[in-house]
Amino acid sequence: MTNNPPFRLGRRTVLAATVASLGCVLTRPPLAAQPGVAFDPALLDRAIKRAAGLDRIHALVIGRNGAVVSAEAFRGPAVNRAVNVKSVSKTIAASLAGIAIDRGVLRGVDVTLAEAAPGLVPAAVDPRVRRITIADLLTMQAGLEPTSGPGYGRWINSRNWVADALRRPFVTEPGARMLYSTGSYHLLGAALSSASGRSLLSLARDWLGEPLGIEVPSWTRDPQGFYLGGNNMALSPLDLFRFGELWRQGGLWNGRPVISAAWVEASWVPRTRSPFSGDDYGYGWFLATAKGHRIAYARGYGGQMLYVVPGLGLTVVVTSDPTRPARSDGHVGLLNALLTDDIIPAAEMA
């Protein structure tokens, strides 16, 4: 990730509030503190002031080396209430794919969708569909016309989401470039369900919820009963923090492996590039650098963000109004600036 483009920084906003006035009361005890959890108090105050003044932000959780140092809901649900994390769901689904490979449910990323779940592929499709691999789905390089953006409504109103996604025309060859598409991740989720004989909800609760001690509520299913693989999962900000911590710790939770270190490493290797932000993309994670630090982040519609900065021991969660779009040069740009201009310096100066 050393050559990734920097975050796009948006306009600056003057805010008003302090950590003391906001209270920052944790509804769950912080994770066990470890050495090096300090932040520069003034810069941390500044970060929370900035966040409080951004009217789209609902909640902010900041932690370092496993300790939550600030968790506050400025508006919207409390930090222990599950909220729609939108396309952060893709990062969760990619994690489940990694666990499936670790457990032998899938043979690897190079296996094709047709091999992993032959019952999903309709008979009358372009022959190139049978070349689409699990890696293509993870990186959204299937080559098929995207189901996100203008095509999303037509897709979710179809009678069969899997078949509709696979019958769309090819925009480019499989593996050629990233075409952001929730349909790719829905196909991945359906493949995981078919290969394991279990629902994606069951896998999420068993493989992530149980070991992390987090709640995974039920979410949207397609007409055939497959849970939506790339959108509409719900986690509380504090539970999403735990998920981020799992990744920051190389797949370990309380010293026990939940995701293999090999999958964490593979997921944070740049494999394609977002046509929208310009940032690199691995297996379910956007990858960037800022101020000399490698950053992996998950992003959902409206400004649902999970940032992991391994070199500083940082995990940061932001939830936002899920009903309003958030562009890289708009609200998401402001969230990136919050991280790079305030939170990272607060950690660096401690």
Nearest-10 Cα torsion for 327, 330, 335, 336:
80
Neighbour order of strands in the sheet with 272-273: 67-73, 57-64, 314-320, 304-309, 293-300, 286-290, 280-281, 272-273
Which tens digit of pLDDT belongs to each residue from 219-254?
999 999 999 999 999 999 999 999 999 999 999 999
Q: What is the mean pLDDT of the chain?
A: 90
**What confidence score (pLDDT) does residue 16 get?**
26
Is the pLDDT score of 335 beyond 80?
yes
- Nearest residue to 201 (alpha-carbon basis) of 182, 222, 177: 222
- The residue-averaged pLDDT of 63-92 equals 97
- Where exactly are the structural domains of the chain? 37-84+235-349, 86-232
**What confidence score (pLDDT) does residue 317 get?**
98
Question: What's the CATH superfamily of 37-84+235-349?
Answer: DD-peptidase/beta-lactamase superfamily (3.40.710.10)
- Verdict on whether the full-model pTM lies above 0.75: yes
Is the pLDDT score of 260 beyond 80?
yes
Is the pLDDT score of 10 beyond 90?
no
SS (H, E, C) 208-220: HHHHHCCCCCCCC
**What confidence score (pLDDT) does residue 95 get?**
98
What CA–CA distance (Å, rounded) separates 317 from 310?
Answer: 14
All residues at 6 or more sequence positions from 265 whose CB lies less than 8 Å from its CB, including other chains: none
- Nearest residue to 167 (alpha-carbon basis) of 183, 189, 185: 183
Which tens digit of pLDDT belongs to each residue from 279-333?
999 999 999 999 999 999 999 999 999 999 999 999 999 999 999 999 999 999 9
Lowest mean pLDDT among 8-22, 26-40, 79-93, 316-330: 8-22
Which tens digit of pLDDT belongs to each residue from 159-205?
999 999 999 999 999 999 999 999 999 999 999 999 999 999 999 99
**What confidence score (pLDDT) does residue 23 get?**
30
Selected from 3.30.110.40, 3.40.710.10, 3.30.390.50, 3.20.20.10, the CATH number assigned to the domain covering 86-232 reads: 3.40.710.10
What CA–CA distance (Å, rounded) separates 273 from 101?
Answer: 24
Q: pLDDT exceeding 90 applies to what percent of the chain?
A: 87
Question: DSSP string of 240-275?
Answer: HHHHHHHHHTTTEETTEESS-HHHHHHHTS--EE-T
Tokens 């710790």 found at: 249
Is the pLDDT score of 141 beyond 50?
yes
- Tell me if domain 37-84+235-349 and domain 86-232 are identical in fold: yes
**What confidence score (pLDDT) does residue 36 get?**
54
Exposed e or buried b for every residue in 249-259, given b needs 16+ CB within 10 A? bebbbeeebbb
Is the pLDDT score of 33 beyond 60?
no
**What confidence score (pLDDT) does residue 136 get?**
98
